Homo-oligomer: A and B are copies of this chain.
Amino acid sequence: MTEQILTTFDDSPKEACGVFGIFARDEAVARITFFGLFALQHRGQESAGIAVSDGYRAKLYKEMGLVAQVFNEANLAPLSGHIAIGHTRYSTADSARQVSAGPFLLESALGPIALSHNGNLVNTNELRQLLFERGVGLASSCDSEIMIQMLAGAQGNDWVDRIREMMISALGAYSLTIMTRDTLYAVRDPWGFRPLSIGQFNGGWVVASESCALETVGAYNVQEVPPGTIVIINDDGMRMVQGREPEQSHLCVFEYIYFARPDSIIDNQLLHEVRQELGRQLAREYPVEADLVIGIPDSATAAAIGYAQESGIPYNEGLMKNRYIGRTFIQPDDRLRKAGVALKFNPLPEVLVGKRVIVVDDSIVRGTTSKPTVQLLRRAGAAEVHLRISSPPIRHPCFMGVDMATYDELIAHRLSVEEIEREVDADSLGFLSLEGMIEALQRPLGRFCTACFTGDYPFEQKAGGFLPREQQRCETVERQQVR
């Protein structure tokens, strides 16, 4: 049975995976990894896994499901050791398979190696060919399996050399935690597409996709792993070495806008504060006379508060989210759809009635949810509905791993802002400008990958070019989910 997800009101970009790692003597490293993954659950709900090493032998447990569903005391207990890495995987319809769950663990000439990966490579097909030519068969279509087999077969005599070799060939986004018999590595690609942070922990070290996970487990002295860097953590302490010359920074700007948790810090900025500032800037660019500012919960709340602060128009909650919304196999039938089933949100009529409402959202991808949301607000009594988006129009698909859409699906590729305004039936519509966004971010444009707004991709398009994530499933091997 194919699981389907309630997408009626879900038009978010989708991203992939959270990674975690810890090296700490005399600590329950698997348990700490569990809580770290718990804090990274928003980055992936498909599967969860933990690999540990006790300095001699590596062990792995992974399964489909949420972190809290996958692990219990019984399967956590055998995961003893002083090094651990963990992984949560984002769910896409076609990857909901046991075989793609992380971390990956292999035995190799240099002993055991395990790898957790967040990101997406753009030269997957070439790398697969190189592995095939070397005589490696691949059990999945995962980038993670490609990278771990690249490491297992690299020329270098030590793991650092091997990681460097892999970094030369691998083009694209990768924030990795790697565990060998006695060492924990953290690796971030030279472009810095995805975040990766490191902190101290009671004499040891922890690494995580986002600082919020480090905060959760009580780490301190948190810093970011610089692009192109290999972090080496073992009984000699922590060292950072250059893995490959850093390229121009291309941090995915959607980490700021949507992906990362508001309580995470990237580049010394608390994302909640950044999102408020995006809202303030939006208020400056697209002011409108109104009575009320609301946000689409929960991702646009901070921007909405910022908009309210800047505009002086009162902020309030106007849409209530079903906290338990999640995956279900059950789809509303046509009757229910037409009857206006509001599965994800309910409006708060007393708040909205007779009001001129500014509703702030973080982005529009396909545009499928904007119109129903506007209608929901109007039916609840809103006199006017002014839609404000705290990011520019998305006009280009992402080739770096974000599961957004193809050109044809992107509403801002097909339609002008005015056409979208009519399409979604808003009284007015304003997208934050690229310049406004950059100003709010207080960092130069060149620091980010903004290809989805500008079409300036970080890698040159070759003949044949890169494919959006959705079209990269070229393999001839297909696996059923193992329960």
By a beta-carbon cutoff of 8 Å, the part of chain A in contact with chain B is 1, 27-28, 31-32, 34-35, 38-39, 41-42, 45, 56-63, 66-68, 71-76, 78-79, 98, 104-109, 111-113, 128-129, 132-139, 141, 148-149, 151-154, 181, 202, 212, 215-218, 261-263, 270, 272-273, 276, 298, 301-302, 305, 309, 314-317, 320, 322-330, 332-333, 335-336, 339-343, 346-351, 475-480, 482-483
Task: Given A56-B476, A216-B322, A217-B336, output 5 extra A-B contacts at Cβ < 8 Å.
Answer: A113-B137, A136-B136, A136-B152, A217-B339, A273-B348
Which one, B31, B76, B217, B323, contacts A298 given CB within 8 A?
B323
Q: Which of A78, A272, A333 has the most CB of B within 10 A?
A: A272
Q: How far is the CA of A206 from the CA of B45 in the complex (A)?
A: 34
A309 partner residues in chain B, CB cutoff 8 A: 314
Return the chain B residue nearest A181 by Cβ: B476
Are the C-beta atoms of A105 and B139 separated by less than 8 Å?
A: yes
Q: List 10 A-B contacts (CB under 8 A).
A: A31-B330, A34-B330, A38-B325, A42-B324, A68-B329, A75-B480, A107-B475, A132-B152, A181-B476, A217-B336
A300 to B427, CA, bound (A): 32
With a CB–CB cut-off of 8 A, which chain B residues contact A348? 262-263, 270, 272-273
Are B35 and A343 in contact, CB atoms less than 8 angstroms apart?
Answer: yes
> What residue of chain B has the Cβ atom nearest to residue A63's Cβ?
B482
A418 to B: closest C-beta gap in Å? 32
Contact between A476 and B73 (Cβ–Cβ < 8 Å)?
A: no
Q: Which residue of B lies closest to A272 (CB)?
A: B348
Q: How far is the CB of A12 from chain B (nearest CB, A)?
A: 13
Q: Closest chain B residue to A340 by CB distance? A: B218
Contact A107:B138 (CB < 8 A) given known A216-B346, A336-B218: yes
Q: Are A330 and B71 in contact (CB under 8 A)?
A: yes
Contacts of A107 in B (CB 8 A): 128, 132, 137-139, 141, 475-477
Assess the B212–A350 pair: CB atoms within 8 A: no
Residue in B31, B325, B346 whose CB lies within 8 Å of A336: B31
Residues of B within 8 A of A138 (CB): 106-108
Q: Determine whether the beta carbon of B270 is less than 8 Å from that of A350.
A: yes
Collect the chain B residues with CB atoms within 8 Å of residue A316's CB.
Answer: 276, 305
The CA-CA distance from A28 to B309 in the complex, in Å, is 46
Kindly list chain B residues whose C-beta atoms are within 8 Å of the C-beta of A327.
Answer: 68
The chain B residue with its CB closest to the CB of A273 is B350
- Closest residue of B by beta carbon distance from A339: B218
Q: Are the CB atoms of B63 and A351 closer together than 8 Å?
A: no
Complex Cα distance, B67 from A59, in Å, reads 28
Residues of B within 8 A of A59 (CB): 477-480
A138 to B301, CA, bound (A): 47
Residues of B within 8 A of A347 (CB): 263
A112 to B479, CA, bound (A): 12
Q: Which 4 A-B pairs have the closest CB atoms?
A: A135-B153, A137-B152, A106-B137, A218-B339
